[in-house]
Amino acid sequence: MFDLSRSIRNLPGTNKPLRLAVRQLRWFKAAFRSHAEFCGKAMECDFRVDDIKLAGAFVRWLESIDRQKPKEKVERQDFFRFAPSLVLRELVADMPITAACAPAGIDPRSAAGFWPEGYVATTFCLTVYAATMDQEFHIDVHVSEMVDDLRSWWSFRENASEDTEYAAGFFQMLLGNEPNWWMPTNFSARTRSVPAQDSIEINYSTE
């Protein structure tokens, strides 16, 4: 049901590069709220956003990426790929969004139906990441087929409830990377991408 191109167009406007805008709390909050509303319309479900929790996740994420930002320019693109996984980790650690009801517009056996809040948080990270990669590197984002695998979402939710670092690993897998499960939130300990043919581009409709 997720339409990446529509989701990107739904992001708030900014006169700054996205890599800078996303580091500003005002834009980050506006983008998250806009995405939650976008998903809510598609799912036929209202979402409540806790601004305090959202701000907390934002601050923790900035602190994390500032600690790990590489000095070598050759690692810049890899770090852009890595950073959104840390956003998801912080969102899952203290979820700032709550579904007001069970989504009425989607299959309850789908990923979004199974865990609406996790789905919104994950697709928010994918959306901002994809828009930024296009702007900075003119790269189309591709996502693993596991994005539609309900068993993967079961595993994601269960494992992330015990260790939030699993969220970062899950996001990296969605991008076709095999995480270092010992340290999935450590950029210097990252593993390389799997072959491109093992991933597909997201292109879902809301119909």
- Cα–Cα distances in Å, from 146 out to 135, 152, 156, 173, 177? 26, 6, 11, 8, 12
Closest alpha carbon to 23 in 61, 51, 52? 61
**Cβ–Cβ < 8 Å for 65, 81:** no
What is the tens place of the pLDDT at every residue in 80-102? Answer: 999 999 999 999 999 999 999 99
What is the tens place of the pLDDT at every residue in 105-153? Answer: 999 999 999 999 999 999 999 999 999 999 999 999 988 878 878 999 9
Closest alpha carbon to 128 in 17, 20, 52, 31? 31
- pTM of structure: 0.89
pLDDT at 13 over 80: yes
d(CA 94, CA 122): 14
